[in-house]
């Protein structure tokens, strides 16, 4: 009987592979055009233009789709294609008006053609079924059934009910791709995103390692064109380490929003790190502002806790030399617009009020208030407090202290739930539910960070270390805030969110190893 059912499915889904592969290539092309038009030609920017093409294209689709739905504009295959095309054209026009040259150079053009051909071949491979996936109820109903219904209705309806309060909306829109463009799953899209992310992770690690080497060797800015062998090796090893990690494999193959959240979060952090390593001048993001705007918007709505994680990430970014206007316009504004618009639609226009939901009116108000306070802090307070030397030298530690105090407040409000959640997270990692033995590396990262902080005289800490600690504290707080207790098992929501820290954990360990190697 299984053969008969398989034959039946093969008969009805002929042609789906090529359609999904074509969608992947189109999204990559859209992202590539935007990156080509906007990215400044900084060191090795070609690699970043190529590797950020698909993540940007996918984010553009998801964010624009969400915007169409929010605005009540009909959401269908045609309107989405038109929106994407208009965006790409608008970006090109903006670039032209800024005096940029649209036509790529010969080498650039060759690189783009090779990239798109490689993307097409890789897309076919990713859609072929050779790479496995795992799915569960959430995959089927939250991330497939709901998007299919959304694609059919072409608009938000209040009857979507808990689907709107419990599902990250850009995740849902992302998963409408099959139902708008004629296939049945997003496995190929997910695998392609995974492969792209692994390459991106390798390139970023290599780039940062190379800059580190260059600085220590020559005391200069490290402007050599080629990566040093040591840096290349660091990139390859980091990617191999991450890719082979048990929780990474788990999460990357699980058809859920966690994998996209993990990858988009790390892409934003990594891209900012790369820009910062090259020196951020007067807050300018070297033409990456548009990409970061869209990626942040995407991240904020990928999961229900996305907005909280974004807010903390923005707080982390405020410790870098990024101007307040850039922080506000590129990072806070997209989060504020999307969240505010969504809450207004949910509670003011539609009056959605599910019996049980992760998101309710009180949480929405608290989040909105938090975002306003964050905006006020960034625009009016941050620069002033950074003038105080004590704070400037310990700014990151103080941010961590604030997060710890926030967690302490939750502990006081509901001690039982907080402690129970913490113990459950710990036990899930220790017993290897989806973790294998990777928990050892989590402990190792924590120890290495602690040693670094103490050796540094309890002054400031490295940015990646700082983001890792903040991310974990935020996850624990978000698990408490969502209500209900966490449970033992690989499928527990808190457990899956904690698995999203794997790339950062690898980055922390690799960074420490690399500094150990290259120290004078």
Interacting residues toward another protein by CB under 8 A = 1-14, 16-17, 20, 127, 129-135, 137, 140-141, 144-146, 148-149, 152, 157-163, 183-185, 187, 230, 233, 237, 240-241, 243-246, 249-250, 253, 354-356, 433-434, 436-437, 490, 510, 513, 516-518
State both tokens at 468: 């890792």
Residue closer to another protein by CB (options 19, 303) is 19
CB of 445 to another protein, least distance (A): 14
DSSP 244-266: H-HHHHHHHHB-SSHHHHHHHHH
DSSP 401-447: HHHHHHHHHHHHH-HHHHHHHHHHHHHHHHTTTTTTTTHHHHHHHHH
CB of 191 to another protein, least distance (A): 11
CB of 28 to another protein, least distance (A): 20
Residue closer to another protein by CB (options 60, 127) is 127
Residue closer to another protein by CB (options 202, 268) is 202
Are 461 and 397 a contacting pair, CB within 8 Å? yes
Residue closer to another protein by CB (options 370, 436) is 436
CB of 303 to another protein, least distance (A): 19
Are 341 and 70 a contacting pair, CB within 8 Å? yes
Residue closer to another protein by CB (options 65, 287) is 65
CB atoms within 10 A of CB 215: 14
CB of 347 to another protein, least distance (A): 15
Residue closer to another protein by CB (options 108, 148) is 148
Local structure of 287: helix, strand or coil? coil
CB of 498 to another protein, least distance (A): 16
Are 51 and 81 a contacting pair, CB within 8 Å? no
Residue 254, φ and ψ in degrees, nearest 5: -85, 125
Local structure of 360: helix, strand or coil? coil
Q: Which of 68, 58, 57 is nearest to 91 (CA)?
A: 57
Instruction: Check the CA dihedral 226-231-237-243 and report its sign.
Output: negative
Residue closer to another protein by CB (options 76, 407) is 76
Tell me how far CA of residue 451 lies from CA of 158, 439, 507, in angstroms: 52, 18, 16
Local structure of 254: helix, strand or coil? strand
CB of 435 to another protein, least distance (A): 10
CB of 313 to another protein, least distance (A): 27
DSSP 12-46: HTTTHHHHHHHHHHHHHHHHHHHHHHHS---TTHH
Local structure of 319: helix, strand or coil? coil
State both tokens at 175: 């998963």
CB of 128 to another protein, least distance (A): 9
Residue closer to another protein by CB (options 1, 405) is 1
Are 9 and 104 a contacting pair, CB within 8 Å? no
Residue closer to another protein by CB (options 324, 433) is 433
CB of 132 to another protein, least distance (A): 4
Tell me how far CA of residue 231 lies from CA of 214, 227, 234, 274, in angstroms: 10, 6, 5, 14
Residue closer to another protein by CB (options 130, 348) is 130
Are 58 and 174 a contacting pair, CB within 8 Å? yes
CB atoms within 10 A of CB 218: 11
């Amino acid at each position: 009987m299984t053969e008969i059912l398989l034959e039946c499915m093969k008969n009805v889904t002929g042609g789906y592979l090529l359609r999904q592969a074509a969608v992947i290539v189109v999204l990559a092309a859209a992202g590539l055009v935007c990156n080509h038009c906007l990215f400044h030609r900084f060191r090795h920017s070609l690699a970043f233009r190529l590797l950020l093409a698909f993540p940007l294209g996918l984010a553009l689709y998801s964010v624009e789709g969400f915007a169409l739905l929010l605005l009540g504009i009909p959401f269908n295959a045609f309107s989405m294609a038109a929106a994407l095309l208009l965006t790409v054209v608008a970006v090109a026009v903006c670039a032209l008006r800024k005096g940029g040259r649209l036509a790529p150079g010969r080498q650039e053009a060759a690189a783009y053609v090779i990239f798109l051909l490689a993307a097409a071949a890789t897309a076919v491979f990713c859609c072929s079924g050779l790479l496995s996936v795992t799915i569960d109820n959430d995959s089927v109903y939250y991330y497939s059934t709901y998007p299919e219904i959304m694609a059919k209705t072409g608009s938000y309806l209040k009857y979507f009910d808990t689907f709107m309060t419990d599902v990250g909306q850009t995740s849902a829109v992302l998963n409408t791709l099959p139902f708008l463009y004629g296939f049945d799953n997003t496995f190929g899209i997910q695998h392609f995103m995974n492969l792209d992310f692994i390459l991106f992770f390798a390139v970023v690690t290599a780039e940062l390692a190379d800059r580190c080497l260059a600085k220590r060797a020559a005391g200069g800015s490290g402007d050599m064109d080629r990566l040093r062998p040591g840096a290349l090796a660091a990139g390859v090893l980091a990617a191999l380490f991450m890719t082979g990690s048990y929780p990474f494999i788990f999460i990357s193959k699980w058809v859920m929003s966690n994998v996209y959240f993990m990858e988009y979060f790390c892409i934003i952090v990594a891209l900012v790190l790369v820009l910062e390593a090259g020196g951020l001048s007067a807050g300018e993001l070297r033409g990456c502002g548009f990409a970061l705007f869209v990626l942040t918007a995407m991240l904020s709505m990928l999961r229900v806790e996305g907005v909280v994680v974004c807010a903390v990430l923005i707080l982390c970014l405020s410790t870098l030399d990024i101007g307040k206007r850039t922080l506000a316009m590129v990072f806070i504004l997209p989060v504020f617009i999307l969240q505010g618009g969504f809450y207004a639609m949910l509670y003011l226009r539609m009056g959605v009020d599910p019996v049980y939901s992760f998101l309710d009116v009180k949480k929405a108000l608290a989040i909105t208030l938090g975002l306003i306070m964050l905006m006020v802090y960034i625009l009016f307070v941050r620069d002033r407090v950074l003038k105080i030397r004590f704070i400037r030298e310990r700014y990151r530690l103080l941010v961590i202290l604030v997060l710890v105090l926030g967690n302490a407040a939750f502990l006081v409000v509901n001690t039982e739930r907080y402690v129970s959640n913490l113990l459950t997270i710990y036990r899930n990692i220790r017993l290897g539910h989806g973790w294998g033995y990777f928990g050892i590396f989590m402990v190792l990262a924590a120890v290495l960070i602690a040693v670094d902080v103490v050796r540094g005289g309890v002054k400031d800490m490295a940015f990646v270390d700082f983001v890792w600690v903040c991310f974990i504290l935020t996850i624990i707080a978000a698990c408490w805030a969502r209500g209900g207790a966490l449970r033992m098992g690989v499928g527990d929501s808190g457990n899956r969110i904690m698995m999203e820290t794997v790339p950062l954990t690898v980055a922390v360990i690799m960074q420490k190893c690399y500094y150990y190697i290259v120290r004078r």
